[in-house]
Amino acid sequence: MPRLLPLLLLLLTIGSSLANADTATIATAANFKPTLQRLAAVFEQQTPHQLTLVGASTGTLFNQIRQGAPFDLLLAADSERPARLEQLGFAIAGSRFTYAEGRLALIGYPAGRDLNPASLRAELTTGRGKLAIANPNTAPYGLAARQALEALALWPLAQGRLVRANNIAQAFQYVDSGNASLGLVAYAQVIHSPRAHWLLPARQYQPIRQQAILLQFGHRNQAAIDFMHFLTSPPAKDIIRHHGYAVAD
């Protein structure tokens, strides 16, 4: 009997965790949603929990959370807004961590055109097309795009040629529809497409640290807490890397 005790405890734990199957609502930055869908599918296979995903821009989600939106966990596209939610008391202090680092890629129209620093410069000097970036004031990838153009000493040249999309998805769509001839987008958007792209060197912009934080609303939600731990597991990191993000080991 004493030798069976650990087994009994294990069964009890499994039983109680089954009984405690939770549902969590995860608010995610739009750029990460496809990756999150894959992660959520794996997570739901491994645990009894269920996840509901809500995708919008980080700024929109931030405002919604401040107005009491029922989200348990936030996967932001930056580190600034999760930090602010922590300060304001809308999130659990100390639960914040970087789950992915975004990377910037240059794409063009037509999809097969050659892309490199020289073609970017040539387009801005002699071409006539527009360069689409996400809005640097609202979108972390837009800010990184601006920093990269500054690092390449192309920012002054780009004035008058820039179109600022509402978010990184719209920047991609401006190029895809042919309205902009070049665009700086998230590598995650192009990594699995046949579209030609140039992956910008990481030193040309500040790291796009996408941070997660447990929200006040979800501080007792076991599904949200378990999913946070899952995000730092090696299988989850592999999925995140596979989708075009950098992740620290």
Q: Where along the sequence are the contacts to other proteins (CB under 8 A)?
A: 57, 59-60, 62-63, 84, 87-88, 128-130, 132, 135, 137-138, 162-166, 170, 173-174, 177-180
Output the smallest distance, CB 139 to other proteins, in A: 9
Q: What angle do CA 141, 144, 150 make, to 5 degrees?
A: 145
In the complex, what is the shortest distance from the CB of residue 120 to other proteins, in angstroms, rounded to a whole number? 18
Q: Report the alpha-carbon distance of residue 173 to residue 185 in Å, rounded.
A: 10
Q: How far is the CB of 208 from other proteins (least distance, A)?
A: 17
Q: Which is nearer to other proteins, 167 or 221 (CB)?
A: 167
Q: How far is the CB of 195 from other proteins (least distance, A)?
A: 16
Nearer to other proteins, 154 or 225 (CB): 154
Min dist CB 161 to other proteins, Å, is: 10
Give the Cα separation of 162 and 133 in Å (integer): 7
Beta partners for residue 132, in sequence order: 163, 183
The smaller minimum CB distance to other proteins, of residues 57 and 211, is found at 57
Distance CA(10)–CA(152), nearest Å, equals 58
Identify which of residues 131 and 214 has a Cβ nearer to other proteins in the complex: 131
Distance CA 210, CA 102 (A): 7
Which whole-number Å values give the CA distances from 7 to 21, 46, 47, 89, 135, in the listed order? 21, 20, 20, 41, 56
> 166 or 204, CB closer to other proteins?
166
